[in-house]
Amino acid sequence: MPILQPRDEDAVRKEFQRIAGPVKLVVFSQELVAQDLCRQNEQLIKEVAALSDRISVEVLNPAVDRDRAAAYGIDQVPATVVEGARDYGVRFLGIPAGYEFSNLIDSIIAVSSGEAALTDDTKASLATLAGDVQIKVFSTPT
């Protein structure tokens, strides 16, 4: 049974008209660890990717594809990396449903162009960062 309703698909398809370049969704699944969550996450990501011919999906198993997982800094599943022309550092841990779903769609569009929707002041400050920054955002589906 599909996760996305036809109405959701129509809305996302419309948003995806703004996609400016290729996007790759790299999904990390490991059914031995979290079978149901990994399957649902894979299904959702594939349903989203099917709404634009510019989105591709690659499914990896962190226990098998260890080097890739390490390179992406992924050590838990399910996880999804949203990659554009390069890896910008956008990740989703868990199923990006509910509240995070709109952020998933927004991040796909943003990485497709590599253009951040931030003020020039913010971009200028970020350009001078003295160290690495890891931002974790905890949320719930509703």
Largest CA distance in the chain: 48
Q: How far is the CB of 25 from other proteins (least distance, A)?
A: 14
Encoded one letter per residue, x for contact with other proteins by CB under 8 A and - for no contact, window 3-32 reads ------------------------------
Q: How far is the CB of 42 from other proteins (least distance, A)?
A: 14
Binding string, 95-124, against other proteins, x = CB under 8 A?
A: xxx--x--x--xx--xx--xxxxxx-xxx-
Query: Is 93 a binder of other proteins (CB under 8 A)?
Result: yes
Q: How far apart are CA 13 and CA 123, in angstroms?
A: 29
Buried b (16+ CB within 10 A) or exposed e, 102-132: ebbbebbbbbbeeeeeeeeeeeeeeeeeeee
